[in-house]
Amino acid sequence: MSIGTASRWDPALYAANAGFVPAYGVAVLDLLGPRPGERILDLGCGDGVLTLKLVEAGCDVVGVDADPAMVAAARAKGLDARVGDARALDFAGEFDAVFTNAALHWVGQPDVVTAGVKRALKPGGRYVGEFGGHANIAAIRTALKAVLANHGFPAAGAETSYYPTGSAFRAVLERGGFAVEACALIPRPTPLPASGMAGWLETFRGGFIDAAGVPDGLKDQIIAETTALLVPALQAADGAWIADYVRLRFAAHFPE
């Protein structure tokens, strides 16, 4: 979810079209191995679906996200969720672990984020997560940029998502003082819900389209043309859509 500058996520739209995000995040929770009584920071908590699982595991959890609407949705679940920027964490030596899922690619500035995570952890604390890696949604991004350019909306420089290789992010973690147990890309072709590619684009690239200067009256057409362009690459014979996700999953700890 969003942990950089405040964005404009719609919790209802996210719940309808992005339920696969927390569903796949369960594997990252297993990698974290939360233990009852641990204090955990969920960085980029979104609407709190995975945060709630940490609480159910017996942990004392604080969720942080930059989007006020998503934080409100998390608080509605009874969670301790706070509006905040991953690049300006103000915690000091208070957490046994920092967990993050599907969030770091929205922020960038990985060295700044890593330094804040280290400050937040107790000595020996764990840093475990997953986010978009190198070549993540490459076909989708290429198609959308082509359609925007065809309509006279150059998108160069408008997308700021951070999609590193495994070796590049391992270097970030090690530079930040972490010992790294695992850091690797995982290709993950992802079946989309019934709303398909159009729903995905509306949910995850609506802000990108807005930032390119597309007026509201043309937005649906941009989404439709991008969807049509992606049919040969990402739509199966039965009509199902499969997004070309590549994830970067990592586990590290702050040595005592």
Measured in residues, the chain has a length of 256
Phi then psi for residue 195, to 5 deg, are: -70, -15
In this predicted structure, the answer to whether residue 4 has a pLDDT above a threshold of 50 is no
Mean pLDDT of the residues in the chain:
90
Is 3 a member of any domain? no
**Residues 6+ positions from 209 with CB-CB distance below 8 Å:** 144, 148, 201, 219, 222, 223
Give the pLDDT of residue 2: 47
Least confident of 13-22, 50-59, 91-100, 196-205: 13-22
Q: Which pLDDT value is given to residue 13?
A: 61
Judged against a pLDDT cut of 50, whether residue 109 lies above it is answered with: yes
Would residue 121 count as lying in a domain?
yes
How many angstroms separate the CA atoms of 63 and 224, rounded? 35
- Domain of residue 243 covers 11-253
Q: Contact at 8 Å (CB) between 77 and 54?
A: no
Choose the weakest-confidence range: 19-23, 59-63, 84-88.
19-23
194 falls within a domain: yes
What's the pLDDT score for residue 23? 65
Does 158 score more than 60 pLDDT?
A: no
> What CATH number did the domain enclosing 151 receive?
3.40.50.150
Q: How many domains does the chain have?
A: 1
What was the pLDDT predicted at 78? 97
2 is a domain residue: no
Lowest mean pLDDT among 78-82, 112-116, 207-211, 226-230: 207-211
More confident residue, 218 or 15: 218
Identity of residue 211: A
Has residue 1 been placed in a domain?
no
pLDDT single digits (tens) 174-233: 999 999 999 999 999 999 988 899 999 998 898 889 888 899 899 999 999 999 999 999
Is 211 a domain residue?
yes
| Predicted model pTM | 0.89
Q: Is residue 6 part of a domain?
A: no
Specify the range with the lowest mean pLDDT, choosing from 105-119, 126-140, 142-156. Answer: 142-156
Interatomic CA distance for residues 55 and 16, integer angstroms? 23
Helix ranges, 67-158 (H) = 68-75, 110-120, 138-150
For position 5, what pLDDT does the model report?
44
Percent of the chain with pLDDT over 90: 76
Q: Stretch 53-77: mean pLDDT, rounded?
A: 95
In a domain, 116, yes or no: yes
